[in-house]
Structure 1
Amino acid sequence: MHRLARLFPQAYNASVFLSGPLRPSSKVSNIVPHLQAPTLSFAKQSNHVREVFERLKQSGILKISLGFPDNDSKYLERLLLNLHHHHGHQLPITHSATRGWFWDIRPTTTNFQTTNHQARSETMARFPWHTDCCYEDPPPRYFALQVLQPDRYGGGTLSILSVERLIKQLSPSSRAALMCPEYQISTPPEFTKDSIPQSIISSLLATNEGGQARLLRFREDIVTPLSERATQALNELKTVLEGARVSSQLIVNLTSEDLPEGSIILVDNRRWLHARTDVKDPERHLRRVRWDAVPFQNALM
């Protein structure tokens, strides 16, 4: 029931990585654990739910393959309810003032899910490195993407980057500055809710339960540094993300071949950054859910 997903090492170049062709290799890695859910009933089977919980706790990333049609995402809904009831995960957050738990990721030019505002997920454009909901306080710990229609033309590759190993590329002074609450993070208009302010002041880097600085919140286009040291640290972080200092071994590229229809990828939103290449298929359709919004820990705050 558990197998390994593939890792695609390549020489890193920011422009190629985020918008150009990817060259997969046959190298196998144990970075992405893989479980099967042959029937909908697995979403409430205690052994299966416990294994999902343990895999996420250990690796922060997990692929699940469904053995049945599930266009309504009933498996994910029931799985998250059982993670809540039996393993202490918080229930999913709502996406906006008009959307509930689930958000459809598919290109559209007119039928936006939030009135008068097009989300990035509703375009075919690439996504640079980011974490989801970094503007929320607290941000959700996890997100999941269910593939309803993969990109049939080679686009829309999901890439995952380890925060733990990324942070090691930064200088000690930048790590310290990123842990200070000296960054304004603005809420994108498509995700405005009555319950959250237009912006928050926070650190970008935080410590985990063991006191190690391995948790990140980041989306470059909505982050504003509020001090000189915050600016310098943010610039170094962006340089590391954009430059050759990011080792190819940090990156997992998941193409439509790796995430076919019926696949679900679950990701720790604080331990892994993610990005997406340009979408080439206008019928590509994923469904997203975010959950377990718990405090963004930081020993300095």
Structure 2
Amino acid sequence: MFAEPDDPAVTDRMRAARAMACTALGVTAPSLQARSGTREAWGWRGRSLGGSVLGPYGLGWLRVVHSPVEKANGKLWTGPEEAERLVGPQVPRPRLHLVREWAEGQNAYRAELYEHVEGRAVSPTPALTEAPGLTAAWWSGLRTALGRLSAVRTERAAVRQAYLDRAMPKYLAFLPGPVPTVPPAWSTAHGDLHWANLTGPQLAILDWEGWGTAPAGYDAALLHAYSLAVPEAAQRVRKELSGALASDAGRFAELVVITELLQSAERGDNLELVPALRQRAGEIGNSTGVGRAG
């Protein structure tokens, strides 16, 4: 989850859209005005707004997404429905019940009603600020889920080769020697596997809008990058997901993720991770395998 947007116009518009979605889907929700006991789950820069609701399927979760009308038909727009259709139930996630779409002027909205899942997000933010203390069973479940997801056949792309060719040399230019841009392998990934998209103590993987093919090991690499501010947690990720990370493919995936997060830092995101990201890229660059100088 992210902080409530600073722009009151965005918060008012999204709360109004959520109220409209409640009516369209026949669900009820607490007042969206800030008050004790009311919990809103905001997406990046107010792009989405979620919260608990009660309706025809019992307790559930309503997520409302905004997009400019001209962009309301791309990968992010259709991801949840395609995940519901193509990703098997062995990958733990909230099932999608209903979808409604509408437009108001230049603003398009999409309301998604999900089943209720046990547990809460491991972290309120994508990056960890403290070790999460998850069980061995939780980690085993995550390994199994990522393994099953990697084998899902899809034409969706979470990361594209054209982006790697363009961005990796630019954002990893501080590394000595040439920067590789071609992954050793590709597989299917969630695409946004950070700590606010994982629940505990019972595992569920949230937010499936951006899933698709990516360099093999991408999900593990992303989770590791978002753990770097807590060395204990980063070490645990490396241990538990070593099958994905301790290889040339895994090290390359780390460089891909570091590229993306360094780019996002230019927009003011993930600034606290930048020193650790640059340090980790240097460690990979000085090691054998993917990312070695020269």
Answer yes or no: same fold by TM over 0.5. Answer: no
Higher helix share: 2
| Bigger Rg, structure 1 or 2 | 2
Structure with greater contact order relative to length (CA < 8 Å, sep ≥ 6): 1
Higher strand share: 1
